[in-house]
Amino acid sequence: MTTPFGEAVRKLRVRKGVSQKQMAAALNVSPAYLSALEHGKRGLPTFDLLQRIAGYFNIIWDEAEELFLLARSSDPRVVIDTSGLPPEYTAFANRLAGQIRSLDATVLAELTALLEKGKKADGKAS
């Protein structure tokens, strides 16, 4: 298992031609932590670490911003706050949590498309 952020970090590391051990030493983190981060077994890294990663790869601002966005959307332990919403929202969130592992790629793509469509309809398109 990996996350979009973990995959992006791994690709940057491979492109630079460095091992996890080398990168971890340069960032002052343990190789085990870096491995867990790349494999989606750690939550959102700190902003400080994100800045160190961007600096380590000497990436331009746009690419760094994309990396930061990937990090924010890659926390494997998601919390959905439905307090104050109608009960059907809470029921939906819990049902999704219970079935997420069994969704196939087609259903995931359909749900993603619906969310993007709703985002654009709300005028929040990026």
Of the candidates 59, 77, 73, 105, the one whose C-alpha atom is nearest the C-alpha of residue 5 is 73
74 burial level (CB within 10 Å; 0-12, 13-18, 19+): buried
In the chain the domains, ranked by start, together with CATH numbers, are 4-72 (1.10.260.40), 87-121 (no CATH)
Q: What is the pLDDT of residue 126?
A: 46
Mean pLDDT of 50-75: 89
Query: Global pTM?
Result: 0.66
Dig out the tokens for 111 from the structure: 């749900």
What is the arithmetic mean of pLDDT over 91-118? Answer: 91
Alpha-carbon distance of 92 to 82, in angstroms, equals: 10
Label residues 21-53 b or e (16+ Cβ within 10 Å = b). Answer: eebbeebebeeebbbebbebebebbeeebbebb
Q: Which two tokens stand for residue 88?
A: 């059907």
pLDDT of 27-62, one tens digit each?
999 999 999 999 988 878 889 999 999 999 999 888
pLDDT-above-90 percentage for the chain: 57
pLDDT at 108 over 80: yes
